[in-house]
């Protein structure tokens, strides 16, 4: 029988009633003739509670025991889902990560999936099991210890299973009914997309759209796994939600597919840095080692032999960046006259695969922001993306104006 993977997030399994609702959706797919692998998250709020208990018990905790505790939320959900399906006369069995096994690296709380041998689950399907309910977010290390994959790891688990089992599709059930041209809470004109290319979804996910976890999209693109994003709380049809697929499966589309934003951005500028070969490596090497996620980078000549270096990073990492650069000065790796941090900025991005073949997108974006009196602080581009940093107070205005300028409320 064909295999289908269905993933249910925390809000979709928040209590026994919602688990029953999710189980009914699984039953519909079983009735269509699928063998189904269900990936479940912990009940909404449970992982945060478990993390809190770990911190309360041991502030300097052992990462191996942290994983043992926080992975337990998914185990509870998997067991309850399997029991619910059994009450519906659907042959189902729950699986923890080590039972599959989901083989991962040893990086506790941030492990990466290495392999998912299909033999165990496929053997049970052959014996008559129709649904394997797998605890998401977890696996087993080469040392035989439980590992977790980091926040959003259940999405990654689902896509990895779809790739390993040769599934027809991977359906991600969440609290939204698909991927939108922008955040509907900011622009009432936001439109749900029927299809979106992997590359576009990857850009949107990395730029702040929280519908899918970035690693799951990367994995789907690598193994050509079709992803469908649907709502757990609405009636479904065969064409419900948004399909994330290869660019070749999408007919002619708009030049710009969506407008993304991130409000928690900071702009950091090193003033009067020595302009010499290797200076960029001397600056960004220590930042990388400190775990600072640098995004946009601009270098300007300030005076002869000196340069100004500007970069953006998440607001929460500003202190880490400042400490790393201070240590680099003390070690004699770099020197600069001043470090200026602006933590009151937002990043706005226009994303679309159509940018590859059509010019004028940047000009239209900059003109639209200018007409609204919005000053651009930093610009960065890629083949299918244009991002700018602006004052945070103009974030919603910028999103609405750009959404209108590119006619994203209209299909085709």
Is a pLDDT exceeding 90 seen at residue 214? no
Residue 238: which pLDDT band, with cuts at 50, 70 and 90? low
Average pLDDT over residues 344-363: 90
Report if residue 307 sits inside a domain: yes
69 is in an annotated binding site: no
Element (H, E) at 132: strand 131-135
Do 13 and 32 form a contact (C-beta atoms < 8 A)? no
7 is in an annotated binding site: yes
- Say whether both 159 and 26 belong to one domain: yes
210 is in an annotated binding site: yes
278 is in an annotated binding site: no
Q: Which of 128, 143, 175 is the last residue of a domain?
A: 175
Do 97 and 138 form a contact (C-beta atoms < 8 A)? yes
Is a pLDDT exceeding 80 seen at residue 207? no
180 is in an annotated binding site: yes
Q: Which of 134, 157, 175 is the last residue of a domain?
A: 175
Q: Which of 140, 175, 210 is the last residue of a domain?
A: 175
- Say whether both 148 and 11 belong to one domain: yes
Angle between the 63-70 and 72-87 helix axes, to the nearest 10 degrees?
20
Report if residue 128 sits inside a domain: yes
Beta strands at 242-245 and 195-197: parallel, antiparallel or unpaired: parallel
Is a pLDDT exceeding 70 seen at residue 236? no
Report if residue 244 sits inside a domain: no
174 is in an annotated binding site: yes
Burial of 203 per CB tally in 10 Å (0-12, 13-18, 19+): buried
Average pLDDT over residues 251-265: 86
Residue 155 belongs to a domain with what CATH number? 3.40.1160.10
Q: How far is the C-alpha of 28 from the C-alpha of 351, rounded, in Å?
A: 35
Report if residue 62 sits inside a domain: yes
- Say whether both 9 and 147 belong to one domain: yes
- pLDDT above 90 as % of the chain: 70
Number of domains in the chain: 2
Average pLDDT over residues 25-32: 95
211 is in an annotated binding site: yes
Burial of 412 per CB tally in 10 Å (0-12, 13-18, 19+): exposed
- Say whether both 165 and 263 belong to one domain: no
Question: Which residue segment(s) compose the domain that 386 sits in?
Answer: 259-405
Put residue 379 in one of left, alpha, beta given phi > 0 → left and psi -120 to 50 → alpha.
beta
- Say whether both 152 and 265 belong to one domain: no
Side by side, the strands of the sheet bearing 103-104 are 113-115, 103-104, 138-140, 146-148
Residue 11: which pLDDT band, with cuts at 50, 70 and 90? very high
Give the number of other Cβ atoms within 10 Å of residue 402's Cβ: 26
Beta strands at 306-314 and 258-274: parallel, antiparallel or unpaired: antiparallel
Report if residue 193 sits inside a domain: no
Render pLDDT for 296-331 as a digit per residue (tens, 0 to 9): 898 887 677 788 899 999 999 999 999 999 999 888
175 is in an annotated binding site: yes
Residue at token pair 């991002």:
387
Report if residue 277 sits inside a domain: yes
Instruction: Of 5-19, 109-123, 173-187, 313-327, give the lowest mean pLDDT range.
Output: 173-187
Report if residue 216 sits inside a domain: no
Residue 385 belongs to a domain with what CATH number? 3.30.2130.10
Residue 158: per-residue pLDDT: 96
- Say whether both 287 and 395 belong to one domain: yes
Q: How far is the C-alpha of 49 from the C-alpha of 14, rounded, in Å?
A: 13
- Say whether both 165 and 272 belong to one domain: no
Query: What is the DSSP annotation of 1-38?
Result: --EEEEEE-GGGGSSHHHHHHHHHHHHHHHHTT-EEEE
Residue 91: per-residue pLDDT: 97
Residue 403: per-residue pLDDT: 96
Calculate the average pLDDT of the chain.
91
Element (H, E) at 404: helix 395-405
Q: Is the dihedral of CA 266, 267, 273, 279 positive or negative?
A: positive
Do 152 and 163 form a contact (C-beta atoms < 8 A)? no
pTM: 0.82
- Say whether both 122 and 9 belong to one domain: yes
327 is in an annotated binding site: no
351: nearest Cα among 176, 186, 199: 199
Render pLDDT for 110-151 as a digit per residue (tens, 0 to 9): 999 999 999 999 999 999 999 999 999 999 999 999 999 988
Peptide bond into 101 cis (omega under 30): yes
Token digits of residue 282: 């001397």
Give the residue, 233 or 166, on which the prediction is more confident. 166
Is a pLDDT exceeding 80 seen at residue 189? yes
Report if residue 251 sits inside a domain: no
Average pLDDT over residues 187-216: 85
Token digits of residue 53: 């208990």
Element (H, E) at 396: helix 395-405
Do 74 and 154 form a contact (C-beta atoms < 8 A)? yes
385 is in an annotated binding site: no
Do 101 and 137 form a contact (C-beta atoms < 8 A)? no
Render pLDDT for 76-111 as a digit per residue (tens, 0 to 9): 999 999 999 999 999 999 999 999 999 999 999 999
DSSP 99: G
- Say whether both 272 and 154 belong to one domain: no
């Amino acid at each position: 029988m064909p295999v289908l993977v269905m993933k249910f997030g925390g809000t979709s399994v928040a209590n026994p009633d919602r688990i029953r609702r999710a189980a009914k959706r699984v039953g519909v797919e079983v009735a269509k003739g699928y063998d189904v692998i269900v990936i479940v998250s912990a009940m909404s709020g449970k992982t945060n509670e478990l993390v809190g208990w770990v911190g309360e018990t041991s502030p300097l905790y052992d990462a191996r025991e942290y994983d043992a505790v926080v992975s337990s939320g998914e185990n509870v959900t998997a067991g309850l889902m399997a029991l619910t399906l059994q009450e519906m006369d659907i042959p189902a069995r729950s699986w923890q990560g080590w039972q599959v096994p989901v083989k991962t690296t040893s990086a506790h709380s941030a492990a990466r999936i290495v392999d998912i041998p299909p033999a165990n689950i496929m053997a049970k399907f052959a014996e008559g099991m129709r649904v394997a309910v797998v605890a998401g977010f977890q696996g087993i290390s080469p040392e035989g210890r439980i590992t977790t994959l980091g926040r959003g790891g259940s999405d990654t688990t689902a896509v990895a299973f779809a790739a390993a089992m040769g599934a027809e599709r991977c359906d991600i059930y969440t609290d939204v009914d698909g991927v939108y041209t922008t955040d509907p809470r900011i622009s009432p004109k936001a439109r749900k997309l029927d299809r979106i290319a992997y590359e576009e979804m990857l850009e949107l996910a990395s730029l702040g759209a929280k519908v899918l976890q970035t690693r799951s999209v990367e994995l789907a693109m690598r193994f050509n796994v079709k992803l469908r994003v649907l709502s757990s709380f609405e009636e479904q049809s065969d064409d419900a939600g948004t399909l994330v697929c290869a660019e070749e499966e999408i007919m002619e589309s708009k030049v710009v597919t969506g407008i993304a934003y991130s409000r928690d951005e900071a702009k950091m500028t090193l003033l009067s840095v020595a302009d010499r070969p290797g200076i960029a490596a001397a600056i960004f090497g220590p930042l990388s080692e400190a775990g600072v996620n640098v995004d946009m980078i601009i270098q300007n000549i300030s005076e002869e032999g000196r340069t100004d270096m500007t970069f953006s990073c998440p607001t929460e990492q500003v202190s880490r960046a400042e400490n790393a650069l201070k240590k680099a000065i003390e070690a004699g790796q770099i020197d600069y006259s001043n470090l200026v941090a602006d933590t009151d900025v937002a990043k706005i991005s226009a994303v679309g695969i159509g940018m590859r073949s059509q010019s004028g997108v940047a000009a239209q974006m900059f003109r639209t922001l200018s007409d609204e009196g919005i000053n651009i602080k930093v610009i960065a581009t890629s083949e299918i993306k244009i991002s700018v940093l602006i004052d945070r107070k103009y974030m919603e205005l910028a999103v609405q104006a750009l959404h209108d300028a590119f006619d994203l409320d209209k299909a085709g």
